[in-house]
Amino acid sequence: FRLEPHIIKQNVKDITALKIYLKNLIIDQYANMEFIYIKKVYDALKGNKLHLIKKMDNNYGCYLTYEYTKLSVNIGNNYYTQIKEHPTKEIVKEYFSLIENKKSLGNEIIVLSAYAFDLGISLEDFIVMWTKKNLINIATTSLKISRIKPSEIQQMLFEFDEFLENIDFNFDIKKDKITNFNPLFEEIIFSHKNLEPKMFTT
């Protein structure tokens, strides 16, 4: 989740810094990419625009690093395998059929958005649920690569509830441009003496 460069640079070394990092991740990345993507998927599903869902699914990896792109598809297909028999809405069944026939990649965020839509979960609730899932995953990762205590991380995650409930969901998907830029991640690349060839992969 791009946390490691921040820890290597000692910009995230305690629970306060980790909390700031996660808040900035939500404000600067999720609000400008994942949240807009989820809303676009919901709108396409409501409008029965299967071609748009397929296009978004197959283009999603363009915003991610190479390794995360592979991971997103792998996780998405794992979810799909577990839930593919359950959808009730025709548009979701059609999208799942595209994944089955290898005509759509099945990225995690698209698969879960479609299934949440099928279950009747509101856009706002799903965004909060999806964000909480990621925060828990990142917090678990930080236990392995930092010295932050599990009890501190658990308390911090509880404190995020109020923050997530007050997210502004009134973003305009027609005007808002999807972006994905992490300045510190780029800084690690440019400051590394031997990493230049890997920039092509990234």
| pLDDT tens-digit map of 126-178 | 999 999 998 888 888 888 888 889 899 889 888 888 888 787 766 655 555 66
Question: Which residues 6+ apart lie within 8 Å of 72 measured at CB?
Answer: 60, 61, 64, 107, 108, 109
Predicted TM-score of the model (pTM)? 0.81
Do residues 39 and 123 lie in contact, with contact meaning Cβ atoms separated by under 8 Å? yes
Q: Is the pLDDT of residue 189 over 80?
A: no
Q: Is the pLDDT of residue 95 over 60?
A: yes
Do residues 45 and 91 lie in contact, with contact meaning Cβ atoms separated by under 8 Å? yes
Question: Which residues 6+ apart lie within 8 Å of 141 measured at CB?
Answer: 1, 3
Helix (H, G, I), strand (E, B) or coil at 29: helix
pLDDT score of 175: 53
Do residues 43 and 114 lie in contact, with contact meaning Cβ atoms separated by under 8 Å? no
pLDDT score of 24: 84
The chain-wide mean pLDDT, for the chain, equals 84
Closest CA to 58 of 25, 102, 23, 92: 102
Question: 1 or 74: whose pLDDT is higher?
Answer: 74
- pLDDT, tens only, 11-54: 888 999 988 888 888 887 788 888 889 999 999 999 999 999 99
The dihedral over CA atoms of 116, 47, 101, 107, expressed in degrees to the nearest 10, equals -50
Q: Is the pLDDT of residue 179 over 80?
A: no
Do residues 107 and 73 lie in contact, with contact meaning Cβ atoms separated by under 8 Å? yes
pLDDT score of 63: 78
pLDDT score of 172: 58
pLDDT score of 185: 57
Do residues 131 and 30 lie in contact, with contact meaning Cβ atoms separated by under 8 Å? yes
Number of other CB atoms surrounding residue 82 within 10 Å: 11
Question: Which residues 6+ apart lie within 8 Å of 155 measured at CB?
Answer: none
Do residues 85 and 37 lie in contact, with contact meaning Cβ atoms separated by under 8 Å? no
